[in-house]
Amino acid sequence: MKKHVPDPPRFIPYFTLQSNLPTPDALAHASQLLRGVSETLDEHCRLHAGDLGLHMLSNAAYATDMVRALIEHTMARCDGAQEPRP
């Protein structure tokens, strides 16, 4: 008997993380990703100043800036205790 319904698509992740990624490198990448999010939110808020609901995006921009500050603080503390690189 012929199957009438195709198999569902397989899950293919958009990205994968290397299991041996050193903590300082992971933090640096996270900081750069958050910088992009922060800059995008900031630009959108500037272009749409006065729009309704913009305060929610402003809160998101503030949160990304705070997370970046925490990451950079952690990176600075890790500088003294670098993990050995493979």
* Range 47-73 average pLDDT: 88
How high is the pLDDT of residue 86? 46
Residue 73 CA to residue 12 CA, distance in Å, equals 34
pLDDT tens digits along 3-53: 788 888 888 888 788 889 888 898 999 999 999 999 999 899 889 888 888
Upper half-sphere CA count for residue 8 (Cβ side, 13 Å):
3
Considering only residues 66 and 9, tell me which one the structure prediction assigns the higher pLDDT. Answer: 66
pTM above 0.85, yes or no: no
Upper half-sphere CA count for residue 47 (Cβ side, 13 Å):
6
How high is the pLDDT of residue 66? 92
